[in-house]
Amino acid sequence: MRVIRVGTRKSQLARIQTDSVVAMLKAFYPGLQFEIVAMSTTGDKILDTALSKIGEKSLFTKELEHALEKNEVDLVVHSLKDLPTVLPPGFTIGAICKRENPYDAVVFHPKFVGKTLETLPEKSVVGTSSLRRAAQLQRKFPHLEFKSIRGNLNTRLRKLDELQEFSAIILAAAGLQRMGWQHRMGQILHPEECMYAVGQGALGVEVRANDQDMLDLVGVLHDPETLLRCIAERAFLRHLEGGCSVPVAVHTAMKDGQLYLTGGVWSLDGSDSMQETMQATIRVTAQHEDGPEDDPQLVGITARNIPREAQLAAENLGISLASLLLNKGAKNILDVARQLNDAH
């Protein structure tokens, strides 16, 4: 029986996410066996520094890609939001699974259960490891203070509950749901309060770009709507040249053949911001096989089973929205944010 080796980070959430992808693959391929290979990444080891300060694009992916390159694993499961918009040569995202809740959630300290961010006392400290969340929420809730909190979900919840330092912390709703901790979600942040990160709530399966066998194997997991939304989001971020060190956020929706993309950029303290919405018509009907001369990758993603025209329209939407913001002066906001972040 053929054994497929699946790479993952060691955290409990990463293991749960990987198990869910393996379960979907087993349903498609009952004759295959899967072996899970867990490893620690740079981002798991450096826990005393804010993510945006480490200045490394592939914090949670590098070691996994190294194993993929050395043929120690055949595929790797990631949170899509951890995957840079430009992958190292030789790698591609071969599948994007159906997106779960992409929003952020607030988890409150036991003594503040029942509150919302709005009703927390003046100068309450809220923990988040993300510049994107801090910038948006500082602007919306000026009475709160935002402080970096690192570690996996278990560690962050323990810090919240046991130290008297934080009144609340902000986490991705999808992660809490996958861990079975829905009961801790005191508030879901909607786009008008806090837009989400590019790719948030979706899982990506990374493979070697030249491994046609694996691309065919995992390609069945592509969820067309999630794929197209995430291509638009990743193209937006790539064109803005945003990464972990600048506050960039998005919101996407598919409705009646239209893909809507809202994207925004913020200064670090949220005082300066710019956001716009654009839409594009997407047709997901005609099937189109790429010729061998086509480079199938768009923003690091290969999806031969989804119409190329639809993928290009989604990519174009992301680029157009980024260009619109750049023309209106977004580059200045991002440059200042980057310089301030580097200086701290």
| Catalytic residue set | 82
Among 92, 55, 97, smallest CA distance to 201 is for: 97
- N- to C-terminal Cα separation, the chain: 54
Q: How many CB atoms lie within 10 A of CB 88?
A: 16
Among 220, 249, 233, 257, smallest CA distance to 319 is for: 233
Per 3-state DSSP, the chain is made up of helix, strand and coil in percentages (nearest 5) of 35, 25, 40
User: Is residue 226 within 8 Å of residue 97, measured between CB atoms?
Assistant: yes
CA distance 84 to 207: 14
CA distance 274 to 221: 35
Would you list the DSSP string of 151-201? Answer: S-HHHHHHHHHHSSS-SEEEEEHHHHHHTT-GGGEEEEEPTTT--B-TTTT
Structure tokens at 153: 């979900």
- Beta-strand runs (E) in the chain: 3-9, 33-39, 75-79, 91-96, 104-108, 125-127, 145-147, 168-172, 185-189, 203-208, 248-255, 258-266, 273-281
Q: Phi and psi (nearest 5°) for 79?
A: -70, 125
The pairing of beta strand 75-79 with beta strand 104-108: unpaired
What type of residue is 10? K
What Å distances lie between residue 164 and 112, 124, 125, CA to CA? Answer: 12, 11, 10
- Work out whether the CA dihedral 304, 308, 312, 314 comes out positive or negative: negative
What dihedral angle (degrees, nearest 10) is formed by the CA atoms of 144, 150, 153, 156? -60
